[in-house]
Structure 1
Amino acid sequence: MTTALSPADAHPYLRAATAGIRHHARSLSASAPGPTDRVQLDVLHGHLTALHRLLDQLAETTRPPHPAAGRHLATAHARLWQATAAVHDAFHLLPPAPNSSAETECRPERLPEGPPVLTVCQRHLAAGHAIRRKTTPSDLNTPLHRPTSAS
């Protein structure tokens, strides 16, 4: 016997992840910590790439029965990639931990045997490969809302 899930129970893992991010954002604003560090950006990048995969799957399954909604989800997928790329770039602009002697330059040719700090780069390259299979460079550089001319 199966029972219908209520909308609140339909996606428990996604709701839990969202609650975790909200909690982290509230704790950051309440405690007024120092500047963001690489560890925070690495974790945030992990969340963004997971959300990127989820949005890609939603766009693919929504597009056939609802093309317009699928196109909007595909656009959101591309914009999320832009945010993910910006977080990756910010990660590399932050200084490494004081006791870290690891190389921090993003060098894809050395990633399989590279230092563990570069897992953010491995994740980013995998997500980049996925977005480039479905999106053109011009789509990635297009603003979300194009200005319309007033007639």
Structure 2
Amino acid sequence: MTSALPAGDAYPYLRAASAGIRHHTRTLALPPASPADRVHLDVLHAHLTALHQLLDRLAETTRPPHPAAGRHLATAHTRLWQSAAAVHDAFHLLPVADETSAGTECHPERLPEGPPVLTICQRHLAAGHVVRRKTTPSDLNTPVPGHTTTCSQ
């Protein structure tokens, strides 16, 4: 995975996050590979929701001058939300590491006072508000279509 961004780019945090993801990918690839745990899925969900916010901003600023590119970014925005939702669901299906963590279910009514394990739920609900404002339920449930454009490089 190489970056096409120049060294002095305007997205230093994105470059740092990409380096962090590469590090975690290499760490998980080392034998013996262990199954995903709640901590890894929480970190992955944080990356996905941050990318979701970035794609939202890029789609908004790209759409007026370049409508076709903006639509593709908006589609990527939707698909990234679907990925974040799947990771959130997987998080709740994994066993709780210790018995002091109360409950594995997402309870939005208890989020402000809830245990730290529900941080993923807070993040997911916040991202969900953005998605529901800008995306229709049918778009969220549409399967990923085939990519029809071709690369010119």
Are 2:48 and 1:48 equivalent residues in the alignment? yes
Partner of 1:108: 108
| 1:8 aligned counterpart, secondary structure | coil
Distance 1:13 1:124 in 2: 21
Partner of 1:19: 19
Partner of 2:67: 67
| 2:112 aligned counterpart, secondary structure | helix
Distance 1:114 1:24 in 2: 28
Partner of 1:87: 87
Partner of 2:151: none
- Aligned-residue offset at 1:98: 2.9
Distance 1:101 1:27 in 2: 27
| Kept after mapping to 1: 8 A contact 2:101/2:117 | no
**1:55-104 Cα deviation digits (max 9, x unpaired):** 00000000111111000000000000000000000000000013434222
- Worse-superposed segment, 118-127 or 31-40: 31-40
Q: Which has the higher helix share?
A: 1
**Structure of larger gyration radius:** 1
| 1:143 aligned counterpart, secondary structure | coil
One-letter amino acid of the structure 1 residue matched with residue 83 of structure 2:
A
Q: Note the 1:115-130 alignment, pairs <5 A.
A: 115-130=115-130
Aligned length: 143
Distance 2:73 2:93 in 1: 30
Are 2:119 and 1:137 equivalent residues in the alignment? no
Q: Which runs of 5+ in 2 are unaligned?
A: 149-153
- Worse-superposed segment, 52-61 or 10-19: 10-19
- Worse-superposed segment, 24-33 or 126-135: 24-33
- Worse-superposed segment, 92-101 or 118-127: 92-101
One-letter amino acid of the structure 2 residue matched with residue 98 of structure 1:
D
Instruction: From the superposition, tell whether residues 147 and 84 of structure 1 become closer, same or farther in structure 2 (CA, over 3 Å).
Output: closer
| 2:111 aligned counterpart, secondary structure | helix
Q: Percent identity?
A: 76
TM-score, normalization: structure 1? 0.88
Partner of 1:9: 8
Instruction: From the superposition, tell whether residues 31 and 100 of structure 1 become closer, same or farther in structure 2 (CA, over 3 Å).
Output: farther
Q: Which runs of 5+ in 1 are unaligned?
A: 1-5
